[in-house]
């Protein structure tokens, strides 16, 4: 997934802060019924361009920000236990039986 991060110093608290964001894009058709946005996935051949810190033309960078190709992700129902931040574990992403 494409994201951005920054380390910055909070001068009042005199401590370093790490902040980050996950970039989103419009959802591909098969997932659009769940939500209209989804994380931006970069294909492996774009990793170098994304991570390169040197200045690049804006249009070249914008070309990296495209929705995922259809069929790369699956949507399925999971337990409502995912709605509580105290819950954590691989069982949270186990698909529920089809109705």
pLDDT digits over 48-77, tens only? Answer: 988 998 998 999 888 888 777 777 777 889
What is the model's pLDDT at position 36? 86
Kindly give the pairing relationship between strand 24-26 and strand 37-39: antiparallel
End-to-end CA distance of the chain: 31
Q: Count other Cβ atoms within 10 Å, centred on residue 94.
A: 10
State the pLDDT confidence band at 16, using cuts at 50, 70 and 90. Answer: very high
What is the average pLDDT score of the chain? 88
pTM of the model: 0.65
Name the H helices within 3-75. 47-51, 58-62
Query: Which residues in 67-81 are b (16+ Cβ under 10 Å) and which e?
Result: bbeeeeeeeeeeeee
Q: 55 is written with which tokens? A: 């200045």
Helical (H) or strand (E) element with 6: strand 3-10
Q: 25 is written with which tokens? A: 């894009």
């Amino acid at each position: 997934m494409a994201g951005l991060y920054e380390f910055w110093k909070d001068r009042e608290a005199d401590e370093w802060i790490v902040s980050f964001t996950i970039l989103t894009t419009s959802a591909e058709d098969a997932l659009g019924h769940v939500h209209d946005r989804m994380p931006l996935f970069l294909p492996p051949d774009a990793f170098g361009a994304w991570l390169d810190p040197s200045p690049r033309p804006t249009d070249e960078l914008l070309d990296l920000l495209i929705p995922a190709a259809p069929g790369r992700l699956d949507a399925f129902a999971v337990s409502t236990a995912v709605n509580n931040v105290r819950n954590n574990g691989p069982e949270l992403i186990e698909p529920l039986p089809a109705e």
